[in-house]
Structure 1
Amino acid sequence: MSDRIRLHRIEGNLRLRLGDKTVAEVQRAVHLDESGFPSRLYLPREELPADQLRASPTRTTCPYKGVASYHDLVFGEDVVREAAWSYDDPIDAVAAIRGHLCFDPRHGFVVDREGAVATPVT
């Protein structure tokens, strides 16, 4: 693991919210700190509502994580475009985020993690 990126496993009750609505409740996540960027929480795909996620054609590349695929969220009658991203085949240094999605806080997503415990990924 480089000094540029630090990962922690988070365990406990975590709730993904959009405004005052709960999108999902999960029991674990990966917290990613990357120098020069805001911290991010990656939630496990298998604990998220698969019927509400839709693949987006958008892709971006990060030299430290790999190729990101974006996902739209269908929430009730609303569609939040590019609501989340994932690294389906991340580089080895951040392999812990494989199978996880990060919801973009610019859309108003918040993860409540009261009482959750963090353990460094080594």
Structure 2
Amino acid sequence: MSKAPGHQKWPDHKVQEQHMGQRFQVEINGELIADSDDVIRVEEDQHPPRYYFPRSDVRMELLERSATTTECPFKGSAHYYHLKLGDETFEDAVWTYEDPYEEHYGLKDRFAFYNDHFREIHIEGA
């Protein structure tokens, strides 16, 4: 685990994490995908708020790991998953940080959902 190069290079860029302390659910196209009372809300400059759910509270049988990865200079390498609901596949719609930078270690192995990948997504509690 190492320090985030982004925080060193752009110290004014804010990435704030907050444990919500309440129950959150993700429902997509009428199907419950995640349900947890251990959610971290991340607010990052120039990005919409994202909610990170523990792996144990996400229906992993609906996810299929993709080959896509991206690099965030603040949080680390993101690994993506396709979400399969019935006959529909939402590509690279879910991501996780398996080995985040030290400043955001609390996000390790948590999953977040791209709201804009779905026609109908509801994050209850948000």
TM band (smaller chain): 0.7 to 0.9
SS of the aligned residue for 1:51 comes to helix
Query: Structure 2-normalised TM-score?
Result: 0.81
Question: What are the within-5 Å matches in structure 2 for residues 67-82 of structure 1?
Answer: 67-82=77-92
Residues 36-65 of structure 1 show CA distances to partners (whole Å, capped at 9, x for unaligned) of 211111111111112111100001001001
2:75 alignment counterpart: 65
Picking from 21, 45, 50, the partner of 2:55 is 45
Matched length: 114
Which amino acid in structure 2 is aligned with residue 86 of structure 1?
A: T
Are 2:54 and 1:10 equivalent residues in the alignment? no
State whether residues 34 and 53 of structure 2, in contact with CA within 8 Å, keep that contact through their aligned partners in structure 1. Answer: no
Give the Å deviation of 1:96: 0.8
Gaps of 5+ in 2: 1-6
More strand by share: 1
Are 2:31 and 1:21 equivalent residues in the alignment? yes
The structure whose RCO (Cα within 8 Å, separation 6+) is larger is: 1
Query: Structure 1-normalised TM-score?
Result: 0.84
Q: Which runs of at least 4 in structure 1 moved beyond 3 Å after TM superposition?
A: none
Gaps of 5+ in 1: 115-122
SS of the aligned residue for 1:84 comes to strand
User: CA RMSD of the aligned region, Å?
Assistant: 1.8
SS of the aligned residue for 1:64 comes to coil
